[in-house]
Amino acid sequence: MTVSQISLAFKNCKKEKKAALITFTVAGDNTKKNSFKILNSIAKHADILELSFLHNCPIADGGQIQNSTYRALRNGTTLKDTFQIARKFKNNNPNKPLILMGYYNLIYQSGENNFIKNCKLSKVDGLIVVDLPWPENKKFAQKCKKKSINFVQLVSPTTSKERMKKIIKDSHDMIYYISMLSTTGGKLKVSPKTILKNYAKIKKIDKSKNLVIGFGITSKNISSFKKADGCVVGSEICKKISKSIKNKQNPVTNVSNMVKNLRKRLS
């Protein structure tokens, strides 16, 4: 297997001695066009981009991402649109890794193989499926791996060490550590110090794996996580889009500036 773009992104960051910045935006937010424009403009600053495919019963998302999701659903964004946005982005930025994130029902309705086929056609680099935990995801993760799509495993503060080891063993090029007990976008209720302590414990299990931290990370606290392999910011970006619309400003410019600033703070 050739080295994945996700792997390369982490390698490059390590060379430059910085943590990878991973952004999360919602497909079709606030419009189909803008969501592509946002991806395209933040690609300059972000190392890996996550794009969520929509589901209207998101059981693990906080208010900000829900707002973005419902906004995108209201403007008629479909799974097909999501793949089109992804494809257009990858055609413009062939070396920038793009990860799709969402809930399993959309994959289930597409059929796993068909969904993977569409990912390949859009040149998607990885997948995060929020409600398909290990070991239930083993088969699907293997299917993804066969097609050179990274299946990103998640671990959380409730994951036992025993389980953690098994998950890490089955993981591909990136593992996502959920910083605290929360839905996305919750206020950071644990100190960065504690999060980093847990992070170090997980990292110790297999140092070769790229481990990123997500949930509750914002411009305000991101500089505390410089030592991690990577940090994910999502809800703050979604919030920025909501605010931009409210203030009749251009969400593309605003988000782009925000991500530029995030990059600065994480370096």
Catalytic positions are 50, 61
64 binds other proteins (CB under 8 A): no
Distance separating alpha carbons of residues 91 and 78, to the nearest angstrom: 20
Identify which of 35, 56, 172 has the alpha carbon closest to the alpha carbon of residue 103. 56
Nearest distance from residue 130's CB to other proteins, in Å?
6
- The β-bridge partners of 20 are 230
Distance separating alpha carbons of residues 212 and 178, to the nearest angstrom: 9
Select 62 or 192, whichever has its Cβ closest to other proteins: 62
Nearest distance from residue 237's CB to other proteins, in Å?
20
Q: Which stretch binds other proteins (CB under 8 A): 35-43, 91-99, 132-140, 205-213?
A: 132-140
106 binds other proteins (CB under 8 A): yes
- In terms of Cβ atoms closer than 10 Å to its own Cβ (0-12, 13-18, 19+), residue 237 is buried
Give Cα 126 to chain centroid, integer Å: 9
* Backbone torsion region of residue 86, taken as left when φ is above 0, otherwise alpha when ψ lies between -120 and 50, otherwise beta: alpha
59 binds other proteins (CB under 8 A): yes
188 binds other proteins (CB under 8 A): no
Interface pattern 150-169 for other proteins (x via CB under 8 A): ----xxxxxxx--x------
39 binds other proteins (CB under 8 A): no
58 binds other proteins (CB under 8 A): yes
60 binds other proteins (CB under 8 A): yes
Q: How many H-runs (helices) and E-runs (strands) does the chain carry?
A: 11, 9
- The β-bridge partners of 152 are none
Select 70 or 143, whichever has its Cβ closest to other proteins: 70
Interface ranges with other proteins (CB under 8 A): 54-62, 66, 70, 73, 78-80, 103-106, 108-110, 130-134, 136, 154-160, 163, 178, 181-183, 186
